Structure formats: structure tokens, C-alpha cells
Amino acid sequence: MRLILMGQQAFGKACLESIIKNDVDDVVAVYCAQDIDGKPLDPVKEYAMDQRIPVIQPPNFKDGAVLDSMKALNSDLCVMAFVTIFVPKEAINIPVNGSICFHPSLLPKHRGPSSINWAVISGAQKTGLTVFWPNDGLDEGDILLQKEVDIGPEDTLGIVYFQKIFPIGVEAILESIELVRNGNAPRIKQDESLATYESWCRHEQAEINWNNSLSEIHNLIRGCNPQPGAWTTLNGVVLKIYDCSTVDAEGNPGKIVQLSDEGFTVAVNNGGILVQRVRPDNDKKMSAREYVKIFSINKGIVLGL
């Protein structure tokens, strides 16, 4: 088939590499986000240019000229590997077989842009990925295929995405293309009664409330590691917390009750959070042990005031 690939960053590049390595279909164009001044080129753009594949970076997909240029490609399928810009049905329906889209959750659960964050934050033990037929709704199209992954009790956002969803997601893209090529790709309606939607998980949503339960705090820290980084304050200054584990501890919520070679322990209502890696405001990530020494942290300090 003649393929259009829409994608960006490492996942978009990995999907493009796999399609080319598979050597069955021809990628006739790559659509990716516009360049940002002062930032490196998107990896998928760099790789496409190296492969002499045309790269198109439209500001939107509403302009008639953009749509006309897509039609001129005479494509069979558009593969949306990692897309953050809205693509309306006028563009989605241009290829002969339409478009398929990757989403890192088991739709209809966790529709929205931060689906892995919220799965971990909610304490889910499983999540996965979906390749679906997009429409004008947000992650609402018919399902082509799904793959499930486990979320371990200590897994972070980074582990779930990079070690689990990313590699099988690339495989799922190739499998989906093959199903479309062979004319037997499923179209399974999503069960709207099971649908959930969450917006971006950003700094505002990542503040730690030390009065919450041990599991809620632990899940929030895991679900925001590495981005956007769960945070608290110390003397009014933001402190982001990354690696941590749960331990037995007693004390008022938010109070540092123990210092050790592993870091420092913060008491919560039903246990403690052993903080192992942090990032002070306007500084680099460092071990909690290093942070304690540099900033003269003592037992008895209360976070979040």
C-alpha cells in the first residue's frame, strides 16, 4: 500500500523505521508537528529526510490546500502513530482505506492526552494500547485491535510507556497495517457505558496532598514520573519527587520522620513515602540523599506548607 505516516518523537520514528524495514508498503509522505525555534528537529522528521521521504508540517488540517496536497498523494492508508494536532474527518477519509490511529490505553477507558498518567494514578493494575479508526470524536472511533499490559505495583509512567506500551505499540502498528492490507481489519464499536475521559496531567494536577492515603500519594508520584513530576513545597519552594517506595512510618502527614542512606521518609496517614530521587526548583534531578546533604534537610521538617 501507499502509506501516509503521521507521527512525532521517538514513537513516530520507531513506527516509520519498522514500516520501512518491513519492506512491504511504501511511505509516500510523513506528516509531523511544526518545528520549534531553538529546539532540535523532531526525530521522525530527521529520519524521514534521511530516507528521502517528503515531510509535510501543516499548521492545521482545515486549509483546502493542505487537503488537496493529501489527495494528490493517492494514498491507501494514513497511519497516525503519535498525533497531538486535531485531524478532522475531511483529512482522515482521504486515503482509500481511511486512517488508523494509535492510542495508549484500552479504549474506551482513559480517552484523552495523558492516558498512561491517569491509569497509573488511578491505581490500575492493567492498561494497554488501542489501534482504532478515528472519527471527529476524541478517541471515539471503532477499535481495530488492542494489546494489554500489566502495571506493576512499583511501575512508573516511564516504565509503563517505554518498556511496555512502546515496543508492543510498534508491533501493533505493523499488525494493523497488515490487517488493512489483507482486507480483514476489524471495526468494533466502543462501549460508551465504559468510557472515561481525562484531560492533560500537568503541573497543576501533580501537587501532592500529604493528607491523602499512602496508595493515592504513591500512585500519583509513580504516574507523574518522569512527566510532569509530582511535587510538594519546602519552605514555599517547589520540590519535585520522582523515585519513591512505600514504608512503615508514623507521624503527622507531610512530616519528614527519618533520614537514611536511601533518602528521607515522609509520614502519611497510614504509612510513609521513602523519597529516593528529587528535583529542587530550578535545579537538576538528584538522589534524595544528595539533596538532604546539599540543602541541610533535617527530621521534623513538614512539606507542603
Answer yes or no: is 228 within a domain: yes
pLDDT value of residue 293:
96
Confidence of residue 84 (pLDDT cuts 50, 70, 90): confident
Instruction: Encode pLDDT of 31-52 as tens digits.
Output: 999 999 999 999 999 999 999 9
Distance CA(245)–CA(286), nearest Å, equals 16
Q: What is the residue range of 216's domain?
A: 203-294
The grid coordinates listed for 279 are: 528535583
Instruction: Encode pLDDT of 257-296 as tens digits.
Output: 999 999 999 999 999 999 999 999 999 999 999 999 999 9
pLDDT value of residue 76:
98
Distance CA(119)–CA(123), nearest Å, equals 7
Which of the listed residues 129, 163, 194 is the one where a domain comes to its end? 194
* 79 in Cβ contact with 4 (< 8 Å): yes
Evaluate if residue 127 carries a pLDDT over 90: yes
Evaluate if residue 165 carries a pLDDT over 90: yes
Same domain? 239 vs 160: no
Same domain? 215 vs 248: yes
pLDDT value of residue 85:
86
Distance CA(108)–CA(33), nearest Å, equals 26
pLDDT value of residue 160:
98
* 12 in Cβ contact with 44 (< 8 Å): yes
On average, the pLDDT of the chain sits at: 97
Same domain? 123 vs 168: yes
Distance CA(111)–CA(38), nearest Å, equals 32
Same domain? 283 vs 243: yes
The domain that holds 216 is classified in CATH as 3.10.25.10
Same domain? 179 vs 244: no
Evaluate if residue 192 carries a pLDDT over 90: yes
Residue for grid cell 502495571: 151
Confidence of residue 91 (pLDDT cuts 50, 70, 90): very high
Going by their DSSP bridges, the two strands 55-56 and 26-31 should be labelled as parallel
Distance CA(190)–CA(20), nearest Å, equals 31
Evaluate if residue 177 carries a pLDDT over 90: yes
